């Protein structure tokens, strides 16, 4: 089994000059973030069409997938290819070890569970154009990943975030009150230990893919999980604009509620606001392309300004890299914003995950990045 190499970084040193914790009875704790798994069982097909492995997975019960994939999908992971089973299992083992070592309180997966172009690959390797059959295969894939996360973190809550590759209809499809959100709410809520939070997540997420809960054992902290696929300029589906505006109104209400209860807020999302470097570089006459539609970015920035004191940090995926910044606001309360590297090495990056340390009453200030070097081994050095 591959081992893990750990790189320690103090990303938010410029945000350390805050007061002592406001909630003396609450101790600092750690939590772990994963992002952009982009699991791809089609890698093991080796261009064989139709693919025997996919046929086996289609026929098998999901509980049998782990054994089947362990037997047939055992090539070493490679750069510029999405996550195969070897990399998936190895990453989860490394994350489990790190979570135990750092006594993390919860885990968060920041979106994009399915491989890129999942529908196109399904059609290629099955020669099946049935939407119903594809939907069933996606459903089984997500149940499989759910099972793997439950197996990895049996006693921890895992909070899930909607990504742009997570859909029954293809990339960037995000339709409110759709069957996908109903099914996913049922599935992902199973990974929440608190029965009260499980019910809240299941009810709220099933509408448009976002929810908010109070973090157990830390009553001063509220977690707001957004569906920022709705804000993307690539977003597809019915009533997208209406749903995006509704989510921003919901965000304002959630932040107002937290302020009235003297809580602090941690925001999690998949697509962050900012520049789409990949799309910008593809344009012949250089022009910066924003990841979000401008109107949504402006409104989100207004919320950050109004509630900068309450927001302790913003977590994101999507960019497949390890990054951080401090968002300046008019009140002088900078908001740390941080990205988690992807598990998928499709863009030539080293897979990784992060462990954050949070002290109640302070901004999110410390994080440790664990990287996987495909040409070496995982290590805890």
Q: Domain limits of the chain?
A: 5-371
Out of 5-14, 32-41, 45-54, 245-254, pick the least confident.
5-14
- Number of Cβ atoms within 10 Å of the Cβ of 281: 9
Percent of the residues in the chain that have a pLDDT greater than 90, as a whole number: 82
CA–CA distances in Å: residue 226 to residues 25, 45, 111, 122, 355? 29, 35, 11, 29, 20
127 or 279, which is more confident?
Answer: 127
CB 300 within 8 A of CB 236: no
pLDDT number for residue 160: 98
Tokens of 105: 């309180």
What distance in Å separates the CA atoms of residue 81 and residue 347, rounded to the nearest whole number?
A: 8
**CB under 8 Å to 77, separation ≥6 — which residues?**
83, 84, 86, 87, 90, 345, 351, 374
What's the average model confidence in pLDDT over 82-86?
97
pLDDT tier at 185, thresholds 50, 70, 90: very high
pLDDT for residue 50 is more than 80: yes
Report the pLDDT averaged over residues 295-310: 95
Q: Are strands 211-214 and 157-160 parallel, antiparallel or unpaired?
A: unpaired
- Higher pLDDT residue, 77 or 8? 77
Q: Which of 37, 39, 41, 42 is nearest to 124 (CA)?
A: 42
Average pLDDT, integer, range 264-274: 95
Q: What is the pLDDT of residue 333?
A: 73
Segment 137-163, tens digit of pLDDT: 999 999 999 999 999 999 999 999 999
| Mean pLDDT of all residues in 332-342 | 91
CATH number of 5-371: 3.60.21.10
Q: What is the pLDDT of residues 111-137, one digit of tens each?
A: 999 999 999 999 999 999 999 999 999
CA distances from 279 to 119, 248, 285 (A): 22, 25, 12
Residue ranges with strand state E in 279-373? 311-316, 323-327, 335-339, 352-358, 366-371
Q: Which residue has the tokens 């996987």?
A: 372
329 band by pLDDT with thresholds 50, 70 and 90: confident
- Could you tell me the pLDDT band of residue 71, with boundaries at 50, 70 and 90? very high
What pLDDT score was predicted for residue 260?
Answer: 97
Q: Extract the runs of DSSP E, i.e. beta strands, from 175-253.
A: 211-214, 221-225
Specify whether the CB–CB gap between 309 and 331 falls below 8 A.
yes
- Least confident range from 69-73, 131-135, 352-356, 372-376: namely 372-376
Q: What token pair was written down for 373?
A: 């070097």
pLDDT for residue 33 is more than 90 = yes
Q: Which of 213-217, 243-247, 284-288 has the lowest mean pLDDT?
A: 284-288
Q: What is the pLDDT of residue 330?
A: 73
Comparing 192 with 284, which gets the higher pLDDT? 192
Q: In this model, does residue 203 exceed pLDDT 50?
A: yes
Crossing angle (nearest 10°) for helices 65-72 and 52-59 = 170
Cα–Cα distance for residue pair 230/155, rounded to 1 Å: 32
Residue pair 48/76 in contact (Cβ under 8 Å)? The answer is no
Q: Which is higher by pLDDT, 36 or 5?
A: 36
For residue 287, the model assigns a pLDDT of: 59
Q: Are 305 and 330 in contact (CB under 8 A)?
A: yes
Structural tokens at position 328: 């300046």
CB 103 within 8 Å of CB 115? no
What percentage of the chain exceeds 70 in pLDDT?
Answer: 87
């Amino acid at each position: 089994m591959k081992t893990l190499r750990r790189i320690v970084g103090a990303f938010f040193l410029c945000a350390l000059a805050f007061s002592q914790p406001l909630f003396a009875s609450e101790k600092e704790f750690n939590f772990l973030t994963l992002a952009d798994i982009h699991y791809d069982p089609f890698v093991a097909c080796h261009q064989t069409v139709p693919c025997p492995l996919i046929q086996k997975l289609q026929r098998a019960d999901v509980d049998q997938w782990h054994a089947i994939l362990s037997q047939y999908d055992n090539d070493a992971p490679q750069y510029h290819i999405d996550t195969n089973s070897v990399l998936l299992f190895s990453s989860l083992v490394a994350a489990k070890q790190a979570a135990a070592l750092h006594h993390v309180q919860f885990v968060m997966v920041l979106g994009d569970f399915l491989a890129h172009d999942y529908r196109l690959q399904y059609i290629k390797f099955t020669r099946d154009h049935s939407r119903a059959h594809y939907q069933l295969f996606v459903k089984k894939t997500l149940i499989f990943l759910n099972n793997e996360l439950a197996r990895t973190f049996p006693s921890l809550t895992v909070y899930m975030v909607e990504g742009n590759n997570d859909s029954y209809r293809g990339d960037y499809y995000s339709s409110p009150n759709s069957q996908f959100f109903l099914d996913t709410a049922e599935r992902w809520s199973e990974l929440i230990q608190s029965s009260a939070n499980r019910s809240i997540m299941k009810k709220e997420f099933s509408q448009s893919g976002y929810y908010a809960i109070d973090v157990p054992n830390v009553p001063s902290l509220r977690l707001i999980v957004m569906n920022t696929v709705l804000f993307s300029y690539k977003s597809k589906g019915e009533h997208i604009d209406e749903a995006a505006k509704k989510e921003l109104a919901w965000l304002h209400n959630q932040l107002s509620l937290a302020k009235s209860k003297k809580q602090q807020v941690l925001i999690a999302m998949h697509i962050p606001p900012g520049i789409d470097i990949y799309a910008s570089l593809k344009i012949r006459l250089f022009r910066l392309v924003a990841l979000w539609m401008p109107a949504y970015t402006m409104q989100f920035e207004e919320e950050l300004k109004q509630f900068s004191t309450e927001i302790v940090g913003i977590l994101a995926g999507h960019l497949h890299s390890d990054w951080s910044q401090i968002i300046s606001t008019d009140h002088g309360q900078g908001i740390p914003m941080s990205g988690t590297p992807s598990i998928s090495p499709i863009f030539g990056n080293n897979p990784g995950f992060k462990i954050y340390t949070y002290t109640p009453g302070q901004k999110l200030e410390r994080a440790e990045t664990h990287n996987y070097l495909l040409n070496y081994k995982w290590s805890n050095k």
